[in-house]
Amino acid sequence: MESRYLRCLLKWGFELSLTPEDLRTANIDLSSLTYLHPADTVQKLEAIYHLVYMIYLDEVVEDVELEVATIFAQTLGFKSTVVSDLFKSIATQDYDQSTPRDVRAEVVEFLKLNEV
């Protein structure tokens, strides 16, 4: 893994305030950690959506963060443009804190509007 990608992942962990204690509490053994590929297109796009949304939360979007998200999207079988399209969608949406967000509905709507 390239060091700039590792720095990106560590930055996300720090931004999320993850600690070694969090990993111990969750009983996660990093040596046996495995990746579970999302089952269908909606789940795959939801995973990318959550990643892009997390990147956007601090309102400081670094090129390497988008690069990591794009690699993830391509690994899941999407075009590289899906990350920028999701980012635009997230950045321009009206955010209403009084209404709970329905991420699945947003992802399904995004799939309908964008051929991915």
Kindly tell me if the per-residue pLDDT of 28 is higher than 50.
yes
Helix (H, G, I), strand (E, B) or coil at 50: helix
**Is the confidence at residue 98, as pLDDT, over 60?**
no
* Token duo for residue 1: 């893994």
Instruction: State which amino acid sits at residue 103.
Output: V
Q: Where are the domains of the chain?
A: 34-113
Q: Please answer whether residues 79 and 25 qualify as being in contact, where contact means their C-beta atoms are separated by less than 8 angstroms.
A: no
Contact 66/88 with Cβ under 8 angstroms?
Answer: no
pTM score of the predicted model: 0.77
Q: What is the rounded distance in angstroms from the CA atom of residue 63 to the CA atom of residue 30?
A: 27
Write the pLDDT tens digit of every residue in 69-91.
Answer: 999 999 999 998 999 988 888 88
The residue behind tokens 């709507």 is 109
Dump pLDDT digits (tens) for 1-10.
789 998 998 8
Angstrom distance (rounded) from CA 73 to CA 19: 27
pLDDT over threshold 60, residue 56: yes
pLDDT tens per residue across span 32-41: 778 788 889 9
More confident residue, 54 or 89: 54
